[in-house]
Amino acid sequence: MSDGNRPPVRSKDMRRRWIVLGVLAIVALGGWRIAATATRDTSAAAHGRDAAARAVPVRAVAAHEGDVRVWLDGIGTVTPLANVTVRTRVDGELVAVHFKEGDTVQQGTLLAEIDPRPFQVQVEQAGGQMARDRALLENAKVDLKRYQTLVKQNSIPKQQLDTQDSLVRQYDAALASDQAQIDQARLQLDYAHITAPFTGRLGLRIVDPGNIVHASDAGGIVTLTQVAPIGVVFTLPEDDLPLLLPKLRGGAMLEVEARDRDGQNVLATGRVLTIDNAIDPATGTIHVKAEFANADGALFPNQFVNARLLLEVRAHATLVPSAAIQHGNDGAFVYVVGNENKVDLRPVALGPEEQDDTSVTGGLAPGELVVVDGTQDLRAGSVVAMQSPDGQQEARDGS
């Protein structure tokens, strides 16, 4: 068919085509807007998840007020207040032992006996000598009285009277010497009975009955140690002396704890007796002596102990868990949780420790939150997510 025979395009069909194109354009625009909105929502959600993921999970507690005890620590040895080797003071046979090894005996208790018979003989001999000299004295006094009468009658020379008077004084002196001999013999007899010089605990017997013992024997018969009360001698650095001296000069009764080798268990509690009169130049330490009642026998002579001297108690100190204390090049610091759960790196001045807490003398106030767990991932300005001890996230006002 030739172009001259093609039917003309009607205007109605053209309008229909434009309407279809417009509808398609509207549908396409709506789809684009829906897709853009979904993309924005997805980006916002992802951003929120990223922000939540950036919050460091930590556990924090509030600084609180409390009393803190100031201790001075040293190492020491349990030292008896009295320790003797029980020896005989006379020579002779050990005939009886009246104790069991390890017994606790009271002062004056009979411990052992040396054969007393030689000393009883000496007492009797001295007594006999005294009786003889007393008889001579009495006879000399009778003669002196007679001579005094004869001299008045000029029957004898005065020289004879003077001689008799001197003889009376000589017998008087002999009686005094005899009395001393008796006292000496009785003293030796007393020494044959060996008693405890103080209340204490006996050690192992060194000599058995039947042996001949001498006053010069170095080993003795047994050792006696006072264990209640008992002492502990320990050392402190000389730098602690300016803190300790004012307390002692003021008459303070300073408490001392004796702890076991690990320093965990308190064995006994006592008080300071005194300090040494000089610093040991070899170690730069001062020796301190404390006394313990030791009624239960928890402390044993020559036992090693860790000694803790309570210097003072500071009230209303600011305390934080020791786990919160961090250390850097500039000293100690803590992470403090502030507004919007952001942490601040806060330098602090530290004081004495109290069990699991450390006192802070500057840089922190009671009530402020400090991080105790999760500090390894923190920096100044980090956002934190508060966790409970069981690992669950806690809600916090103002977050």
Q: What pLDDT, on the 0 to 100 scale, is given for residue 253?
A: 93
For residues 190 and 154, give the distance between their C-alpha atoms in angstroms, rounded to a whole number: 55
Q: Which residues of the chain have pLDDT under 50?
A: 1-4, 9, 42-52, 397-399
What does the alpha-carbon distance between residue 130 and residue 124 come to, in Å, rounded to a whole number? 10
Task: Quote the pLDDT of residue 28.
Answer: 65
Residue 13: the pLDDT is: 66
Tokens encoding 263: 């320093």
Rounded Cα distance, 255 and 291, in Å: 10
215 secondary structure, DSSP code: T
Residue 354's DSSP bridge partners are 357
- The domain spans of the chain are 56-68+315-386
pLDDT in the model for residue 48: 44
In the block, tokens 């040895």 appear at 77
pLDDT at 317: 92
Query: What is the structure's pLDDT at 375?
Result: 86
**Chain Cα centroid distance, residue 384:** 42
Report which of 63, 64, 51 is spatially closest to residue 342, judged by C-alpha positions: 51
Instruction: Give 395's DSSP letter.
Output: P
Count CA atoms within 13 Å of residue 6 on its CB side: 5
User: If we measure between CA atoms, which residue out of 94, 117, 116 comes closest to residue 214?
Assistant: 94
The encoded tokens of residue 256 equal 């001392």
Per CATH, the number for 56-68+315-386 is 2.40.420.20
Q: How far apart (Å, rounded) are the C-alpha atoms in residues 275 and 240? A: 12
